[in-house]
């Protein structure tokens, strides 16, 4: 259990949020031209990182807005929070 | 078996105050090369090594484990064993395991305390009733014992359940698999370890894998904290850490690792002599031989390797437990823990070859791997030894995520994932 700093509402308990999985997976521009392997890669394959992960969260029981979080999955410490469309922090 | 456990050996060792029992397995240093190496010394990994040695005559093999054997999810689960899965492929897989469980203590000469006390799955709404009836029929067609119970029969089978119609999620019925039950989780790991060790398998603990050496499209060995070990075949059975090992070989897997929690209460006298699971409210409970209630909670929805999990998940499960079993309202919980489960998008496991020659994966068991331990080991050993899947695990190959031929056991598996 941890606290997430929603960029719109401020710090709230994690139970108010829903995790949306790995961030920055880009939807294919030409879905009709994708091979089965490319579809599998897009739909199912995940980095599932132990360490620093870029991920999406939604403040379900709050503003209901989506945003991105940088979190260390080995200890659940949050390193950064940034809005959708913003560049991920490099450090 | 050299040091067979029996009444005779018990009496004999009593004369030396039980101080001279032989070690159940040795603690060897790794050799330079093995015919095959299993990464992960949990139940599935040890079972794989056992069947490789026993059925496929591969004796020059090793199991490498970063901690101690059975210290991961094998020692963290709620020990439920059942095979009442919906789809044919799953039914075949899990019932294969259940059949091995039925003779496992004798085969291993190690009491795994397998107890066929039955597993009951409850229905709380009309859709549950339809789903459970459908699953009961599917089970019977696959030769798996299953009966549908109405509310009164549920109450009769487990009298402490609150079947009053005015609770938030009333009990409308349930299914019962009488051959299902529980086993002693540690004993499974220890029994397989002892059996494998006896046949010459090296069980190497405190040995973390740091890298997988590849030569083009085949494997050459593993880098570990105890040095480089050469091998042509690597079987990865690393549960929650499967993706971490896969990354070492440059592979991506369709897995997400999440914390799954369980908790036990203070020990009390026998009160519940079966296993009751409820999908809709996500609560399941049984009682250990020590008298503790063993309660399984749900998974968190975020990726984490922290082996903790969120408090609200436990709270939700206990709310459900209290509504279904008002008699437990004053019980105190003793311990809570989390394990990291690797979940596939279709909630079915992967027991498969990969695109890299000599690299095999047995993963994705998600929230329900313990029940499959013997079957998983047997089928994975077959896959490694023959470089071909057994017909029972052919459907659980890694290519199903490309072909679309998924084994979708979400919800159908009788428990929410």
Measured CA to CA, the distance from residue B243 to residue A47 in angstroms comes to 7
Measured CA to CA, the distance from residue B52 to residue B65 in angstroms comes to 17
Residue recorded with tokens 């989780």: B185
| B399: Cα separation from own chain's centroid | 23
Pull the structure tokens for residue B271. Answer: 């009160």
On the question of pLDDT at B413 being above 70, the answer is: no
pLDDT digits (tens, 9 = 90+) for B352-397: 999 999 999 999 999 999 999 999 999 999 999 999 999 999 999 9
CATH of the domain at A68: 3.30.2270.10
CA-nearest residue of chain A to B400?
Answer: A40
pLDDT digits (tens, 9 = 90+) for B5-21: 999 999 999 999 999 99
pLDDT at B417: 45
Measured CA to CA, the distance from residue B153 to residue B143 in angstroms comes to 23
Of B81 and B280, the one with more pLDDT? B81
H-type alpha helices, B40-87? 43-55
Residue recorded with tokens 């499974």: B188
Judge: A41–B252 Cβ closer than 8 Å, yes or no: yes
Domain extent at residue A36: 3-83
Q: Tell me whether A65 touches chain B (CB under 8 Å).
A: no
Residue A70 falls inside a structural domain: yes
Measured CA to CA, the distance from residue B257 to residue B242 in angstroms comes to 9
pLDDT at A90: 83
Run of H or E residues at B224: strand B218-224
Residue A76 falls inside a structural domain: yes
Q: Which residues of chain B does A14 touch, with a Cβ-Cβ cutoff of 8 Å?
A: 302, 310
Measured CA to CA, the distance from residue B127 to residue B114 in angstroms comes to 33
Band of residue B412 on the pLDDT scale cut at 50, 70, 90: low
Q: What is the mean pLDDT of residues B259-274?
A: 96
Judge: B402–A55 Cβ closer than 8 Å, yes or no: no
pLDDT at B411: 57
pLDDT digits (tens, 9 = 90+) for B121-146: 999 999 999 999 999 999 999 999 99
In terms of Cα–Cα distance, which of A15, A19, A28, A25 is closest to A67? A19
Measured CA to CA, the distance from residue B124 to residue B114 in angstroms comes to 29
Give the DSSP letter of residue B240: G
Q: What is the mean pLDDT of residues B24-41?
A: 96
| ipTM score for this prediction | 0.95
Judge: B310–A47 Cβ closer than 8 Å, yes or no: no
Q: What is the mean pLDDT of residues B250-276?
A: 96
Judge: A53–B303 Cβ closer than 8 Å, yes or no: yes
pLDDT digits (tens, 9 = 90+) for A30-63: 999 999 999 999 999 999 999 999 999 999 999 9
pLDDT at B309: 87
Our CA angle for B338, B75, B202, nearest 5°, is: 130
pLDDT digits (tens, 9 = 90+) for B269-303: 999 999 999 988 888 999 999 999 999 998 999 99
pLDDT digits (tens, 9 = 90+) for B192-239: 999 999 999 999 999 999 999 999 999 999 999 999 999 999 999 999
Pull the structure tokens for residue B261. Answer: 């929690």
Measured CA to CA, the distance from residue B142 to residue B99 in angstroms comes to 14
Distance to chain A for B255, nearest Cα, Å: 6
Band of residue B415 on the pLDDT scale cut at 50, 70, 90: low
Q: Which residues of chain A does B255 touch, with a Cβ-Cβ cutoff of 8 Å?
A: 46, 48
Strand A10-13, strand B293-299: pairing: unpaired
Residue A91 falls inside a structural domain: no
Q: What is the pTM of this model?
A: 0.95
Judge: A45–B252 Cβ closer than 8 Å, yes or no: yes
Measured CA to CA, the distance from residue B302 to residue B309 in angstroms comes to 10
Give the DSSP letter of residue A28: P
Which residues are registered as beta bridge partners of B363?
A: B350
Domain count, chain A: 1
pLDDT at B283: 87
Residue A66 falls inside a structural domain: yes
Run of H or E residues at A38: helix A36-43
Judge: A15–B312 Cβ closer than 8 Å, yes or no: yes
pLDDT at B288: 96
> In the predicted model, what is the mean pLDDT of chain B?
95
Pull the structure tokens for residue B321. Answer: 């437990």
């Amino acid at each position: 259990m941890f606290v997430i700093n929603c960029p719109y509402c401020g710090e709230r308990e994690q139970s108010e949020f829903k995790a949306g999985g790995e961030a920055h997976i880009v939807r294919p521009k030409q879905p009709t031209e994708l091979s089965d392997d490319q579809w599998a890669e897009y739909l199912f394959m995940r980095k599932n990182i132990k360490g620093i992960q870029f991920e999406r969260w939604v403040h379900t029981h709050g503003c209901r807005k989506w945003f991105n979080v940088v979190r260390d999955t080995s200890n659940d410490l949050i390193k950064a929070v940034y809005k959708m469309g913003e560049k991920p922090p490099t450090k | 078996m050299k040091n067979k456990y029996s009444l005779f050996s018990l009496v004999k060792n009593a004369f030396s105050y039980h101080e001279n029992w032989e070690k159940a397995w040795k603690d060897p240093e790794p050799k330079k090369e093995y015919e095959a190496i299993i990464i992960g010394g949990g139940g599935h990994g040890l079972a794989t090594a056992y069947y490789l040695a026993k059925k496929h005559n591969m004796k020059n093999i090793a199991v490498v484990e970063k901690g101690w054997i059975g210290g991961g999810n094998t020692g963290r689960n709620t020990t439920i064993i059942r095979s009442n899965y919906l789809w044919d492929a799953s039914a075949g897989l899990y019932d294969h395991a259940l059949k091995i469980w039925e003779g496992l203590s004798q085969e291993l000469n190690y009491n795994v305390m397998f107890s066929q006390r039955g597993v009951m799955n409850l229905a709380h709404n009309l859709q549950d009733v339809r789903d459970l009836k459908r699953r009961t029929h599917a089970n019977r067609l696959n030769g798996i014992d299953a009966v549908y119970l109405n509310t009164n029969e549920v109450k009769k089978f487990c009298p402490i359940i609150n079947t009053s119609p005015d609770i938030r999620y009333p009990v409308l019925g349930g299914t019962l698999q009488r051959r299902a039950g529980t086993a002693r989780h540690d004993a499974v790991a220890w029994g397989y370890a002892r059996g494998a060790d006896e046949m010459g398998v090296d069980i190497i603990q405190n040995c973390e894998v740091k890298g997988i050496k590849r030569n083009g499209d085949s494997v050459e060995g593993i880098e570990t904290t105890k040095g480089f070990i050469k091998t042509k075949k690597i079987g990865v059975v690393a549960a929650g850490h499967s993706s971490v090992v896969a990354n070492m070989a440059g592979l991506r897997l369709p897995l997400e690792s999440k914390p799954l929690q369980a908790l036990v209460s203070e020990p009390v006298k026998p009160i519940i002599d079966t296993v009751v699971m409820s999908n809709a409210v996500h609560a399941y409970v049984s009682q250990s031989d020590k008298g503790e209630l063993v309660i399984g909670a749900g998974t968190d929805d975020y990726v984490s390797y922290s082996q903790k999990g969120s408090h609200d998940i436990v709270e939700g499960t206990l709310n459900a437990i209290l509504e279904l079993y008002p008699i437990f309202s004053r019980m105190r919980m003793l311990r809570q823990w989390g394990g990291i489960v690797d979940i596939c998008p279709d909630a079915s496991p992967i027991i498969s070859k990969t695109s890299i020659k000599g690299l095999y994966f047995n993963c994705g068991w998600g929230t329900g791997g313990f029940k499959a331990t013997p079957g998983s080991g047997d089928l994975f050993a077959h896959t490694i030894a023959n470089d071909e899947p057994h017909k029972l695990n052919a459907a659980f190959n890694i290519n199903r995520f490309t072909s679309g031929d998924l084994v979708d056991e979400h919800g159908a598996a009788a428990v929410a994932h």
